[in-house]
Amino acid sequence: MEVRAVSKNTGITARKMRLLVDMVRGKKVDEALTALKFTPSPSAKIVAKVIKSAAANAESVFQMSPEDLKITRIYADEARTMKRFRARSRGRASHILKRSSHITVIVSEQVS
């Protein structure tokens, strides 16, 4: 049984999130949370929060043991981009793209 949790429109680019997501892919939930706890990136809190949510969903809805949960799939996709502009000289403007991302975590019980 696979259980998922999704965090949408995080406000951090998918490119930055993929660094953390690749770090915890395939690990047990406890190991992943420990690794993210000692990661200096501020976006590690967001990834950890989604992993905790998926683990809580598995525990409360499907009565899975939290010690046996493993991250089977985790990915960060691009979300909506806010488009802004910055004034430049001689009446011109340049684009500013504020990107964000969706994070999806899928956990399942590890067969021992």
CA distance 23 to 109: 20
- Copy the structure tokens of residue 64: 């899975």
Per-residue pLDDT tens, the chain, 112 aa: give them.
899 999 999 999 999 999 999 999 999 999 999 999 999 999 999 999 999 999 999 999 999 988 899 999 999 999 999 999 999 999 999 999 999 999 999 999 987 5
pTM value is 0.90
pLDDT at residue 110, rounded to an integer? 82
User: Beta-strand (E) ranges in 36-81?
Assistant: 69-78
List domains and CATH numbers for the chain. Answer: 2-109 (3.90.470.10)
pLDDT at residue 7, rounded to an integer? 96
CA distance 95 to 62: 47
Query: What is the per-residue pLDDT across 71-82, written as a single tens digit (0 to 9) for each?
Result: 999 999 999 999
**Quick one: CA dihedral 51, 7, 74, 112, positive or negative?**
positive
The Cβ of residue 13 has, within 10 Å, a number of other Cβ atoms equal to: 18
Query: Would you say how long the chain is, in residues?
Result: 112
pLDDT at residue 112, rounded to an integer? 59
- Copy the structure tokens of residue 91: 């009446």
